[in-house]
Amino acid sequence: MNKIFIAVILGLIFLVLLALSFSALFSGLNEEIAVIPIKGEISSSGDSFSSSMSSTEIAEKIKQADSNPLIKAIFLDIDSGGGSVVATKEIVYAVRETEKPITAYIGEIGASGAYYIAASSDLIIADEDSITGSIGVISVSANVTGLLEKLGIKVTVLKEGEFKDIGSPFKELNEKEKEILNELISEVAVNFKKDILDFRKEKMQEEKFNQIADGRILSGRKAKEIGLIDFTGSKSFAIKKTAELAGIKGKPSLKYFKKEQSDLFSLFSKMGYSFGSGFVSSLKASNSNFQLYAK
């Protein structure tokens, strides 16, 4: 009986040691880095025919990665020239609320709103020949009155409120309207610059930042000199730095977060909704033509 008891104990000890050995061997495989792409124009509404995600989808992917216990860090793969101010801020809020380390990598371009997102992360790495910077806000308002006159089309606008049709494509902006819009753009731009300075206050001199925060674009190489980014290098180098930031030993496993594909029925439903929304929007107040962009 004693021999059987001893054999059982030894067997249990062997199984425990075996389990610990396999745990040590494969523990590194469980440490993942979430790769979330930010591609093309940043917008709150996604394009059914594009692989690019909307700001809402990107923000949701960041939250999913942050709540996944197997994911140790988040990697933002950026190739964007910016987009809508509000859509950009939606992603920035999601980045700032995460508890896990986040690295932003700028490949071809990470300018304006896209750089704003990168600046909100813990570490920024860019290719030395990438395009970044372009820190500023712009609004473009088209005036189609000349074209409509040639086509013989007359537009009647009924409004309540002197500035209700500000930014309308059916009229020229007057000086007072330009003043109002410039004031709004300046307010957004001030907040934009203030946030970037706050995000990178320990890595960048305010004086140098103010010298280049005039909408100009910069190479990754120049951005590194000023302090807009932390390192220049390849995407594989950026992945390596992300792993180091998260304390991952060995080669990390990458988990790619992509846009969820819709079935054919959903696709046609979205097409119908987009067409209907566009038609209704064209009948709404003419000042819907005005929008602010960080691009």
Question: At 262, is the pLDDT very low, low, confident or very high (cuts 50, 70, 90)?
Answer: low
Q: Is the pLDDT of residue 141 over 80?
A: no
Active site residue 112: yes
Higher pLDDT, 76 or 283: 76
Q: Which of 120, 109, 276 is nearest to 203 (CA)?
A: 120
Helix/strand/coil for 233 = coil
The confidence band for 269, taking pLDDT boundaries of 50, 70 and 90, is low
Give the strand pairing for 217-219 and 131-133: antiparallel
Quick one: pLDDT band at residue 104, thresholds 50, 70, 90? very high
The verdict on residue 10 lying in a domain is no
Instruction: Say yes or no to pLDDT of 282 above 80.
Output: no
Predicted local distance difference test score (pLDDT) of residue 200:
93
Who's near 228: CB < 8 A, 6+ residues apart? 115, 119, 124, 132, 133, 200, 204, 209, 212, 218
Higher-confidence residue of 97 and 139: namely: 97
Residue 174 pLDDT > 90:
no
- For residues 264 and 208, what is the distance between their CA atoms, to the nearest angstrom? 52
Average pLDDT over residues 107-132: 96
Q: What is the pLDDT of residue 160?
A: 85
Nearest-5° Cα angle at 107, 240 to 54: 105
Is residue 24 domain-resident? no
Residue type, 218: L
Model confidence at 203, in pLDDT bands (50, 70, 90)?
Answer: very high
Long-range contacts of 233-238 (CB under 8 A, 24+ apart): 233/125, 233/127, 233/128, 234/127, 235/77, 235/105, 235/107, 237/125, 238/75, 238/103, 238/105, 238/125
Please give the angle made by the CA atoms of 226, 212 and 202, to the nearest 5 degrees.
40
Which residue's entry shows tokens 């709540």? 67
How many domains does one find in the chain?
1
Work out the percent of the chain whose per-residue pLDDT is above 90: 51
* Residue-averaged pLDDT of the chain: 83
Residue 97: give its domain's CATH number: 3.90.226.10
Of the candidates 63, 159, 164, 249, the residue annotated as catalytic is 164
- Classified as helix, coil or strand, 108 is strand
Least confident among 91-95, 165-169, 272-276: 272-276
Of the residues 112, 134, 168, 286, only one is catalytic, namely 112
The secondary element (H helix, E strand) that includes residue 198 is helix 175-199
The answer to whether position 111 is within a domain reads: yes
Position 108 confidence tier, pLDDT thresholds 50, 70, 90: very high
Is residue 20 situated within a structural domain? no
Q: Is residue 63 part of a domain?
A: yes
Q: Are 293 and 139 within 8 A, CB to CB? A: yes
The answer as to whether 240 is a domain residue is yes
Would you give the DSSP letter of residue 285?
-
Residue predicted with more confidence, 77 or 49 = 77
**Which of 119, 141, 112, 139 shows the shortest CA–CA distance to 295?**
112
- Is residue 124 classed as helix, strand or coil in its secondary structure? strand
Structural domain of 263: 29-294
Confirm whether 288 is domain-assigned: yes
Residue 168 identity (one-letter amino acid): S
Residue at 22 is within a domain:
no
More confident residue, 139 or 283: 139
